[in-house]
Amino acid sequence: MATGVAAWLPFARAAAIGWMPVANCPMPIAPRDNSKKQDELIILNVSGRRFQTWRTTLDRYPDTLLGSSEKDFFYNEEIKEYFFDRDPDAFRSILNFYRTGKLHYPRHECISAYDEELTFFGIIPEIIGDCCYEEYKDRKRENLERLQDDQEENMDLKMPNMNFRETMWRAFENPHTSTMALVFYYVTGFFIAVSVITNVVETVPCGATANQKDMPCGERYTVAFFCMDTACVMIFTVEYLLRLFAAPSRYRFMRSVMSIIDVVAILPYYIGLVMTNNEDVSGAFVTLRVFRVFRIFKFSRHSQGLRILGYTLKSCASELGFLLFSLTMAIIIFATVMFYAEKGSSSSKFTSIPASFWYTIVTMTTLGYGDMVPKTIAGKIFGSICSLSGVLVIALPVPVIVSNFSRIYHQNQRADKRRAQKKARLARIRIAKSGSANAFLQSKRNGLLNELLELTGTEEDEQKLTQKSISLLESQHHHLLHCLEKTTAHEFVDEQIYEQNCLETALQTYPSRSPSVSSHDSSTRTCCSRKRKRNVPLPNTSLPTTHSTHQGPLQELSAIHIQCGDPLSHTASRSNLNLKTDESSRINCKSGRITTAIISLPTPPALTPDGDGLHGPPQRRPPQPPSHPPPLSIQTTTSSAGANIVKVSAL
Amino acid sequence: MSAPSSLFFLSILPSLHHFSLLLHFFTFPPFCLSIHPFLSVSLPPTDSSDSDLELSTVRHQPEGLDQLQAQTKFTRKELQSLYRGFKNECPSGLVDEETFKSIYSQFFPQGDATTYAHFLFNAFDMDRNGSIRFEDFVIGLSVLLRGSVTEKLNWAFNLYDINKDGYITKEEMLAIMKSIYDMMGRYTYPCVRDEAPSEHVDKFFQKMDRNRDGVVTIEEFIETCQKDENIMNSMQLFENVI
């Protein structure tokens, strides 16, 4: 029952009194209407714009957000309104749906934004009224096609691990993926062109020799042309076989249009090889050579425009069919008329109706060769009508085909442009992302540096590192990442540093050093023993050159590579256990190596210590002897021969 | 269609219009007869279709709220609510018979309510001008919902008396009964037999027609109904509809 008609239900019930005197038995009791409250105005505040309507209007559709109790979630007690933080323009059409029962799609609205609004308010788009439904469907289809295009492009970039076959197939389908594919693409293109030109030049008369008449080049230089043909066909055959091998679904590939064209292009040659040269079949053999012209269709792999044209023709099949049908009808009609009109005249070329077909076609397409002309007056009248109607009949379906072609072509243009811009877009996105990642790392260092300053209690802490004031959101985000680090007992590092670490673990030998690691004996030692917050100078150690290279103002992470020796030789301590957990943590680096991160900061001049306090961060090169051991306890362990363990524990 | 070709076709249309005017002017009778209907498809509507447009532009505004309040037994708020519902369905302020039939039929999807709706329409349309205005609507509702039993019975009698001559004949009653049974549709239990309406009419007349003269007058009707307890009870059924 239409909900607008619900307003008339009281009337229908009242009119039922007309049945009462006729009835012979008592009537059932009417349901009680307990909710006797008066209809009230509801205020819907959508991003500041206030919409008001009756409650009963909204109750018409109880399975939507506004019609059910779901809207109570949005009720704001202070202002006594239902507040929705959505687009007020789109809300207009939604509220009109409740009022009139018809959902309209505003044309200026973006289709995905509109869909989102509908989903939010719980309205299914299928009830869009007829007036707007087609437009909605069209826009939705366009959007979907665009999304599919994007998805297809994305799929190109995925798939890191492909076997040889898949790589080959990808190379065939997208020549720009690798240089080999590009080379192959151009080589095949060149040979297609050569083959086509050969076929054409073969038939050109080459100039008469002394004793023979003018003969085509093909017959004069038979061997040369045969060699060229063989070469081209060999290339095509190899290409076809490779494609067949690489295709993910061979059966589907063999049925596809391009493969059929490939086969048709090379088959005449092989058939010609097989067949003998006797007279009766050579006629058929000559016919086969015609099929060699199909090689030109192989260019459609190389030209997108050709593909679009083919696709357009396929999608306009019904219009083309209509065109053909109407043309045929008109041709038959006019041919018949012309035949009978010209029957009287002598020496008429219109000998039969099929003979008149030729005249009709030539006239309707406004070609007008003039080889057949009507001579009688009636013939001339009908001939002129024929040519006039020909123009109309042909002009009618053409715009449809043209608009289809234009739409598809522009879509492709857009896809190409998007692809070209995509690289730039991705690069920009990557920079933005790494910017935020760097921000986290930087704030970590800053924050920890500040901690360090406080802990060491030097006079330098007045000159705290100027910290960029970060927003609350950022600090919360950083805290979150921090918690993750704690949970997994890993740390976030910079990408370059990470790669370098991996490289270095593979290459470096690890100098043994007597570790002197300062660790705070307070309870700030965390479970992650790797968390060294400063570059602790190691006495008697030359801080290994395994540290990453200075990179100017950039912060850098350097690693001290620890060689894990025999676990048994560790003194059992909490940090040992932590060490063990760290062992398994590093991926993609050789096992048994533990990489810790030393954060070395650039040298802000203000922080240069005077042999005191901060010996760590500013200078890395000269490892300064620890000048104030008391707050820092140095924990050293030595392992059995050869392997020293540098334990790094948190401050 | 691409822009150029659409422009091309658009440019043809005015010229077709002028062409038809030319025809009018020169009055080629045989050509006129054959070509003119073809051309008028694309032309603006001629005089014959203007009257169709007229009806849709007719609007009706109801009398003031105070007068309606005086005429009916509804409160101001009830009248407001009724009018809002009425105007929402019929923005022009008038309900014609077709709209009325379609609205009423929606409540009885299984059967055919159009005949009964026709009778109802005539019962509401008191001035018999082919359309129900809001005043008719609300006055009728007032009687049905807030009227005394006698008034309601009067209204029912008016409904059954199709030609409004003061007598209910058997034919009138049969028509009414058939329309009521039509609303039931085909799928009923037990199946509606063809004689059911006439049997029902006979029973009705047996009850109502005191002097056995083949017609039921208003006095007979009211008297009989007041004596029947079932009917009296059912008259009170819809008191609280609004």
Cβ-based contacts under 8 A for chains A and B: 101
Question: Given this model, what pLDDT does residue A206 score?
Answer: 78
- Give contacts of B237 with chain A, Cβ < 8 Å: 17, 20, 27, 29-30
Identify which of A33, A129, A44, A136 has the alpha carbon closest to the alpha carbon of residue A81: A44
Cβ of residue A399 closer than 8 Å to a chain B Cβ: yes
- Both tokens of A165, joined, read 């076959």
- Return d(Cα B182, Cα B194) in angstroms, integer: 11
Question: Given this model, what pLDDT does residue A234 score?
Answer: 93
Decide if B230 and A2 are in contact by the 8 Å CB cutoff. Answer: no
- Return d(Cα A257, Cα A251) in angstroms, integer: 12
Q: Confidence band (pLDDT; 50, 70, 90) for A548?
A: very low
Select the residue of B1, B233, B240 nearest A26 (Cβ to Cβ).
B233
DSSP characters over A150-191:
HHHHHHHH--SS--HHHHHHHHHH-GGG-HHHHHHHHHHHHH
Q: Which residue of B has its CA nearest to A24?
A: B230
For A479, phi then psi, to 5°, come to -60, -40
Give per-residue pLDDT as tens, B147-168. 888 999 999 999 999 888 888 8
Does residue B51 register a pLDDT over 80? no
Does residue B22 register a pLDDT over 60? no
Select the residue of A1, A14, A16 nearest B141 (Cβ to Cβ).
A14
For A218, phi then psi, to 5°, come to -60, -35
Question: Given this model, what pLDDT does residue A381 score?
Answer: 95
Does residue A78 register a pLDDT over 50? yes
- Return d(Cα B91, Cα B212) in angstroms, integer: 48
Name the average pLDDT for chain A. Answer: 73
Question: Given this model, what pLDDT does residue A567 score?
Answer: 41
Within 13 Å of residue B97, how many CA atoms lie on the same side as its CB?
A: 15
- Return d(Cα A250, Cα B56) in angstroms, integer: 66
- Give contacts of B235 with chain A, Cβ < 8 Å: 17, 20
CB A95 within 8 A of CB A44: yes
- Both tokens of B239, joined, read 């008191």
Q: What is the torsional sign of CA B61, B67, B72, B78?
A: positive
Identify which of A540, A557, A551 has the alpha carbon closest to the alpha carbon of residue A623: A540
Q: Which residue has the tokens 């608009």?
A: A403
Decide if B89 and A5 are in contact by the 8 Å CB cutoff. Answer: yes
CA A586 to chain centre: 33
- Both tokens of A146, joined, read 């665009």
Does residue A135 register a pLDDT over 70? yes
Cβ of residue B85 closer than 8 Å to a chain A Cβ: yes
- Give contacts of B154 with chain A, Cβ < 8 Å: none
- Return d(Cα A113, Cα B13) in angstroms, integer: 39
Give per-residue pLDDT as tens, A16-39. 888 888 877 777 777 766 555 667
DSSP characters over A586-598:
--SS-TTEEEEEE
Name the average pLDDT for chain B. Answer: 76
Q: Confidence band (pLDDT; 50, 70, 90) for B134?
A: confident
- Return d(Cα B13, Cα B15) in angstroms, integer: 5
Give per-residue pLDDT as tens, B103-119. 888 888 888 889 999 99
Q: Which residue of A has its CA nearest to B137?
A: A11
Q: Domains of chain B by range and CATH?
A: 9-23+63-238 (1.10.238.10)
Q: Confidence band (pLDDT; 50, 70, 90) for A113?
A: very high
DSSP state, B162? T
Give per-residue pLDDT as tens, A160-181. 667 888 888 888 888 877 888 8
Helices (H), B58-164: 65-71, 76-89, 97-105, 114-124, 134-146, 149-160
For A146, phi then psi, to 5°, come to -65, -40
Decide if B230 and A26 are in contact by the 8 Å CB cutoff. Answer: yes
For A44, phi then psi, to 5°, come to -110, 115
Beta bridge partner(s), residue A520: A632
pLDDT: is B25 or A125 the higher one? Answer: A125
- Return d(Cα B164, Cα A411) in angstroms, integer: 71
- Range name among A116-125, A438-447, A616-625 with the lowest pLDDT average: A616-625
Could you tell me what percent of chain A has a pLDDT over 90?
Answer: 17
Cβ of residue B120 closer than 8 Å to a chain A Cβ: yes
Decide if A22 and B204 are in contact by the 8 Å CB cutoff. Answer: yes
- Both tokens of A132, joined, read 């707007």
Q: Confidence band (pLDDT; 50, 70, 90) for A364?
A: very high
Does residue A355 register a pLDDT over 70? yes
Helices (H), A204-347: 217-220, 222-246, 250-255, 257-274, 279-290, 304-315, 317-342
Residue A163 burial (CB < 10 Å; 0-12/13-18/19+)?
A: exposed
State whether residue A385 is helix, strand or coil: helix
User: What spatial distance separates the first Cα and last Cα of chain B, rounded to whole Å?
Assistant: 55
Does residue A159 register a pLDDT over 50? yes
Q: Which residue of A has its CA nearest to B161?
A: A18
Give per-residue pLDDT as tens, B53-66. 455 567 778 788 88
ipTM comes to: 0.72
Average pLDDT of span A108-133: 89
Cβ of residue A21 closer than 8 Å to a chain B Cβ: yes
Q: Confidence band (pLDDT; 50, 70, 90) for B25?
A: very low
Identify which of A586, A578, A539 has the alpha carbon closest to the alpha carbon of residue A561: A586
Give per-residue pLDDT as tens, A186-223. 999 999 999 999 888 888 887 766 666 677 777 778 88
Does residue A424 register a pLDDT over 60? yes
pLDDT: is A3 or A312 the higher one? Answer: A312
pLDDT: is A353 or A208 the higher one? Answer: A353
Does residue A589 register a pLDDT over 50? no
- Return d(Cα A586, Cα A590) in angstroms, integer: 8
- Return d(Cα A201, Cα A198) in angstroms, integer: 5
Element (H, E) at A132: helix A130-157
Does residue A501 register a pLDDT over 80? no
- Return d(Cα A225, Cα A218) in angstroms, integer: 7
- Return d(Cα A483, Cα A485) in angstroms, integer: 5
Give per-residue pLDDT as tens, B177-231. 888 888 887 777 777 788 888 888 898 888 888 888 888 889 988 898 888 888 8
Average pLDDT of span A290-305: 83
- Both tokens of A236, joined, read 């095509």
CB B97 within 8 A of CB B106: no
Within 13 Å of residue B15, how many CA atoms lie on the same side as its CB?
A: 5
